[in-house]
Amino acid sequence: MEEKKEVVEKEEQVEKLEEDTPVPAGVKEEKKKKKEKHHDSKLKEENKKLKEQLEQLQKDNQDLLEKVKLTQAELVNYRKRKDEEVSNSLKYANQDLVTELINVVDNFERAIKLDDNDLTDELSKFLDGFKMMYANLMEILKKFGVEEINRVGEVFDPTLEQALMTDSIDEMDDEVVTEVLLKGYKLHGRVIRPASVKVNSK
């Protein structure tokens, strides 16, 4: 900083000496032109440096903007993933409980398949109570997003069913589900137990 100050002071001293020293008119004019040319050259150089600095700053600014945009996009994606994970966790939080209740439903269905005509009045009333409890349980499961997989007459789908047995029915196409042996269930669209079925095979 001090060196620069000294240079400036020396330049000023030289300029003062030049002003004080008598010089012929032609020489003075030439010196003036040289001085102006030197000054213009200095200005151009300074201008060039400033332009380069400005370009570099603009480039750095653009890079920073890109990084900020990228970071914001990553944050938005992270939040979306997190929200989806939390939503799914809440959505399927009851899956284990529902799976256990489905086993109870299976037992209810076996009980209510009994032929009502072969039962005494007392057992018949008892069976009616079973049917009411079964209907109530199915309503509760439905309310919590449980739906039955029953695709008799439709083409076998391994993502929804497992084929345990085959049938040979001429009137039906190959690979069509002919009977549900054990009901399958979905929870909010996700298969929690595939249906066990018979599939036609001619």
Q: Which residues contact 195 (CB under 8 A, 6 or more apart)?
A: 149, 150, 151, 160, 161, 162, 180, 182, 183, 184
Ramachandran angles phi, psi of 179, nearest 5°: -160, 145
Structure confidence at residue 200 (pLDDT): 93
Place of tokens 């002919």: 178
CB burial of residue 187 (10 Å; 0-12, 13-18, 19+): buried
Q: Residue 165 in 3-state DSSP?
A: strand
Structure confidence at residue 193 (pLDDT): 96
CATH fold for domain 92-200: Nucleotide Exchange Factor Grpe; Chain A, domain 2 (2.30.22)
Structure confidence at residue 21 (pLDDT): 53
Structure confidence at residue 98 (pLDDT): 93
Structure confidence at residue 43 (pLDDT): 82
202 residues of the chain, pLDDT tens digit each = 555 556 556 566 655 655 555 555 555 566 566 666 666 778 888 888 999 999 999 999 999 999 999 999 999 999 999 999 898 888 888 899 999 999 999 998 888 887 666 667 777 788 888 889 999 999 999 999 999 998 999 999 999 999 999 988 888 889 999 999 999 999 999 999 999 999 998 7
Structure confidence at residue 103 (pLDDT): 93
Structure confidence at residue 202 (pLDDT): 74
Strands in the chain per DSSP E: 146-149, 161-167, 177-182, 184-187, 190-193, 195-200
